[in-house]
Every structure is written in C-alpha cells, then in structure tokens.
A and B are shown apart, each in its own frame.
Chain A
Amino acid sequence: NAGVMQNPRHLVRRRGQEARLRCSPMKGHSHVYWYRQLPEEGLKFMVYLQKENIIDESGMPKERFSAEFPKEGPSILRIQQVVRGDSAAYFCASSPTGGNYGYTFGSGTRLTVV
C-alpha cells in the first residue's frame, strides 16, 4: 500500500502561471480532501471531493482555485494566475468513508511562487 501519493513534491511557478497539484488516494479510498498550510500555521481545509463530485468547497478561494476528482486518475488542485500569497504547502488526505475519521495525509506539494 503506497499511501497517499502527491506530486510534484516541490513546484516553483512565476507569478501569473498555472499550478497543477496531483493527489492519488490510498487504494480503496474514494474520498479526497485538500488542505493548505501556510508557514508556521496549521492546516486549513479547502475542498472535499468524491469521484466526479465536489462535496464541500467552502474553504476554497472564490477565484483562481479549482479542484476535480475524475472517474479515472488522480485528484487535481489547480491554481490559475498564481500570486506570491499562494506559496504554501498543499496537502491531500484520503479516507475510505465520508466524514473525517481515518484520514491519511500525503507528503504534500510545496508551492513557491517567484
């Protein structure tokens, strides 16, 4: 069991470019959650997805951010026209059932906007 796989581990983007972060949940897990961690802060919820459905996106910024979890393939967090304030670590977690018991986090993608 490879756990939750996130790639890339590190991503550098210039202001205005697009960032795509990928998350493959643990085998058998169909629930995916994205969190953002700013330096020296705790994790903040962004979005919760099941296959082909966004269940809760209450933590997502209204503009430039989007997420998907297609029927096949990994979940994608997409940030358009990145700004310096988007620099953070983005973590994905998966669970076998809904709710937040049994979360397993990936190792994260560290996005740096220059």
Chain B
Amino acid sequence: GENVEQHPSTLSVQEGDSAVIKCTYSDSASNYFPWYKQELGKGPQLIIDIRSNVGEKKDQRIAVTLNKTAKHFSLHITETQPEDSAVYFCAATDQTGANNLFFGTGTRLTVIP
C-alpha cells in the first residue's frame, strides 16, 4: 500500500515569513494529493489539492508543487499569519481505485507574531 512521509514534524516561523512542508509517497500510481489543515479540537479541512497532471497549483498565499518523478510534493505558505498556526497533513491516493486517503503524520506549524 501507499506510504506517505511528511517533514518536518514541527515548524516555527516569524509572521510574514514563508513556510514549506514536504511529503514523499511510495506508490507511483497515486495521482491525487490533498492538503488538510487541522486546528485544535476540529476536524481536518481541505485547503488545497493537486492532481498528477499538473506540477503546481496556487490559491492566494498557498501553493502546492508536485514532482512525480521524485514522488514528492510540497506545501508553500507565503506571508504567514498567526491564524495559519495549525497542524497540516498531506495525503495521497490513487483516486480512481482507492477508497481511502493515506495521510502523512502531520506538521505542527507555529507562526510567531
């Protein structure tokens, strides 16, 4: 099955700086890569996703890049704000075949005001 690894496990940045979280996956058949943000006491919320037919996707201050050859993908948050503080999870799946998402172990991001 798919194995997703995520780094770093914790990340602290100053407000206004950028944050980068990286994930690798093992199954070359995986073709859908969502990112979730989980705030304390809440469920994960989808913030951005990318499919394997594109290499980059951007939504305001958030961007995701995908390198299928190297089997890794990254989340980039620019101009970080204190409300970006949360745990971020990457996930991967073969959307056409699998019924479930395979999650990374999470990155706890702290934005220092």
Contact = CB atoms under 8 A, between A and B. Distances in A.
Contacts of A91: 43-44
Contact of A99 (B34, B43, B45, B99): B99
A91 B100 CA distance: 13
Interface in B54-112: 89, 93, 95-96, 98-106
B99 A42 contact: no
Interface in A42-67: 42-45, 48, 55-56, 58-59
Contacts of B103: 42-44
Contacts of A41: 105-106
A25 interface: no
Interface stretch (A11-19, A72-80, A105-113): A105-113
Nearest to B32: A101
Chain B CB within 10 Å, residue with most, of A42, A45, A59, A103: A42
Interface residues of A, number: 26
Contact of B89 (A4, A43, A48, A59): A43
Contacts of A106: 43
A112 to B, nearest CB: 14
A51 to B, nearest CB: 15
Given A91-B44, A105-B45, 12 more contacts: A43-B44, A44-B103, A45-B100, A45-B101, A55-B99, A93-B43, A99-B98, A100-B93, A100-B98, A101-B49, A103-B46, A107-B43
16 contacts: A33-B99, A40-B106, A41-B105, A41-B106, A42-B89, A42-B106, A43-B89, A44-B103, A45-B102, A48-B100, A56-B99, A100-B100, A100-B101, A101-B32, A101-B95, A106-B43
